[in-house]
Amino acid sequence: MLLPGPVLHISVAGPLEGLTEDGIHLARSLSTPEAAACKAQLRQLVNNAGATNETEVEMLSWPENGQVRWFEATVIPAENGEAFVIARDSTLEVNMRLALVDSRQRFKDLVEISSDFAWETDVEGSFSFVSRTGALGHSVEALIGTTARNLLYYPDAIPDHFAFEARNAVDGMELWLKSADGDPVCVLASAKPTLSRSGECMGVRGICRDITAERLRENDLARLKVREQVVAYIVDAVRNEARPMDMLRTAVDSICGAMTDTACAVYQRENFDGLNMVAHEGVLPESGELLEAIERVCTDFATHEQIIGDRSIFMLATHYRNDMNGAILLSRNSNADWGLHEQSLLDAVAGQLGIALRQIADQRELERLSRTDALTGLLNRRAFMEELERALQRSRRNGFQGAIFFVDLNNFKAVNDTHGHDVGDGVLSRLSEILRNAARSYDFVARLGGDEFALWFENIDKQTARRRATEILRSCRHLEEFSGSPAKKLGLSIGIAMDQPNSVETSDGLLKRADAAMYRAKHSRKRNVSMARAKDRSNLQKSS
């Protein structure tokens, strides 16, 4: 027979008979025990063909040498229940088909494992396919036919070579997309355009993997690193800055630099009667309402949030040994929320700022003590001369007159000798209070030593100076009750030296003129106030 492939003859009860050389080999293979099921299936086909008198075609298989062998059997019925079988070996074809199916399944499994969703877009950038699980909570039905740009969380910031519309291969493009709930999701997209046979772009196919958790974790680590750097910087500043105020400014600048669009301010409590801003950077709400908010909530160790106008405030009190001594606050646009990053940063720096604020308070107290008289609280001689130097420059620059009063107690030694030094100290304290009340807010008073005092009056003429001195004498009349004896009444002598805007006299020279005038008043029996003789400009220049 000239038919290609194996040809068999099957009788009703007889064995399989190969009619061609390939048929003989096939009959021999089907006679093995492994092929018993296949041989039975073949005889069933013969019976079916004999019953219907029609040709039967079936794909049959059996194991052979550890592999599966396939062939397509065409059964042609003959007389007396016999039949002819024309077989075509399909092993290679079937195995290739199964391998292709397995490969496609393997590819599908790998795509699903390596990505959150696979997709295809058409040439317009609209979805034509999305993997069966959908994407970012969106169903397949909701996405098919819609443009991929609708998924962008920031639609106004379309990246170059947008993966869903790519005309060249894209590998690992980071995109922020919008989930079905409207939340931002960061994905890593890889894509490749699909081309027609003529090379025209027909669309894009690709995969996306959700990396939101990774990015958030990286951001948290970055914030933590920044916070650690800021805290370390502030701690180092506390240790190394010679002036605590410089440390506060450094801290505020560092905090603002660590957070975008955020203002920062540090407040110090002054003698437990109010808060005073000592350092700030950036835009803050109106100060009055802000201070009220800080005073109201910064009384514990917890952070507090509040909206003032269009700004959101985040604040925390600072403490030194459990005593509240100030506050630190952050301010930003009210649409921005505060999170654990800001809270942990405030918690980390509040302790160091509390120490710095205490250092500032201690430093100010030391400066105050070094500039003031211990008994009266007035300026001492050194501080008075420093202030006088600045006052003279300011007064002469502005064209104002000024006056120095040199005040001395008469017969004060008799008070100490008769009543004791405690009474004498009391007299000095009462006099200092009278002089302090006589001065205006921009004037200043000093105890130069012993029973000698000095006052500077700014922007005052000679007539007003005399009247002011008379008022001081009148206020001190009650001090006579502390006199040592009727013969040595306690009184006051005042010398006044006027300063003119065109004067070049030194502060020391001006004080000496007032001192000399005071001694003239002390030795005069008719008056307790003496005005110093004026010096002309030429004499001053000669003496200098």
Instruction: Kindly state whether residues 278 and 320 are assigned to the same domain.
Output: yes
Residue 145 and residue 126: Cα distance in Å, rounded? 5
- Report yes or no on 498 lying in a domain: yes
We report the CATH number of the domain holding residue 165 as: 3.30.450.20
Does one domain contain both 61 and 120?
Answer: no
**Interatomic CA distance for residues 355 and 358, integer angstroms:** 5
Which are the contacts of 185, defined by CB distance < 8 A and separation ≥ 6?
136, 153, 176, 177, 178, 179, 210, 212
Q: What is the structure's pLDDT at 355?
A: 85
Indicate the residue among 210, 245, 274 that finishes a domain.
210
Rg of the chain taking only CA atoms, in angstroms: 51
Instruction: Kindly give, in sequence order, each residue whose CB lies less than 8 Å from that of residue 288, ignoring residues fewer than 6 positions away.
Output: none
Q: Residue 511 pLDDT > 50, yes or no?
A: yes
Amino acid 25: pLDDT: 87
Q: Note whether 390 and 527 are same-domain residues.
A: yes
Most confident option among 92-101, 343-352, 445-454:
445-454
Sorting pLDDT into bands at 50, 70 and 90, what band is 106? Answer: low
In this model, does residue 12 exceed pLDDT 70?
no
The residue-averaged pLDDT of 37-42 equals 88
* Cβ atoms 255, 330 nearer than 8 A: yes
Report in angstroms the alpha-carbon separations of 233 from 34, 185, 241, 298, 372. 82, 34, 11, 25, 36
Give me the chain's average pLDDT, please: 86
pLDDT at 479: 92
Residue range 433-452: mean pLDDT, rounded: 94
pLDDT on residue 544: 39
Q: For residue 225, is it within any domain?
A: yes
Contact partners, residue 118, CB within 8 Å, separation at least 6: 111, 112, 129, 130, 131, 205, 206, 207, 208
CATH of residue 524 = 3.30.70.270
Rounded Cα–Cα distance for residues 287 and 293 (Å):
10
Do 75 and 197 reside in the same domain of the chain? no
**Considering the domain boundaries, does residue 371 fall inside one?**
no
Q: CA 170, CA 324: separation in Å to the nearest integer?
A: 58
pLDDT, residue 536, reads: 45
Q: If residue 445 lies in a helix (H) or strand (E), which one and from where to where?
A: strand 444-449
**Domain co-membership, 270 together with 324:** yes
Q: What percent of the chain has pLDDT over 90?
A: 40
Say how many domains are in the chain: 4
82-105: pLDDT as tens digits: 888 888 888 888 888 877 777 766
Q: Indicate whether 37 and 166 sit together in one domain.
A: no
The candidate with the shortest Cα–Cα distance to 146, out of 171, 172, 178, is 178
Residues 328 and 407 placed together within one structural domain of the fold: no
Alpha-carbon gap, residue 164 to 148, rounded angstroms: 6
Q: Classify residue 516: in a domain, yes or no.
A: yes
> Domain range spanning residue 474?
381-543
373 inside domain: no
pLDDT at 194 over 70: yes
This model's pTM is above 0.75: no
Average pLDDT over residues 184-191: 92
Same domain, 266 and 347: yes
Residue 405 lies in a domain: yes
Classify residue 324: in a domain, yes or no. yes
Domain end call among 338, 366, 394:
366
The token duo for 386 is: 């420093």
132 with 198, same domain: the answer is yes
Q: For the segment 212-252, what is each residue's pLDDT rounded down to a tens digit?
A: 888 888 877 777 777 777 777 766 765 666 677 777 888 88
**Cα-Cα-Cα-Cα dihedral sign, residues 477, 478, 484, 487:** positive
- Residues 72, 17 share a domain: yes
Please say which residue of 159, 190, 210 terminates a domain.
210
Does residue 419 share a domain with residue 529? yes
Where does the pLDDT of residue 111 fall: very low under 50, low under 70, confident under 90, or very high at 90 and above?
low
Whether 108 maps to a domain, the answer reads no
Q: For residue 117, count other CB atoms closer than 10 A to its CB.
A: 22
- Which two tokens mark 190? 């890889």
Same domain, 413 and 492: yes
Q: Is the pLDDT of residue 109 over 60?
A: no
The confidence score (pLDDT) of residue 371 equals: 86
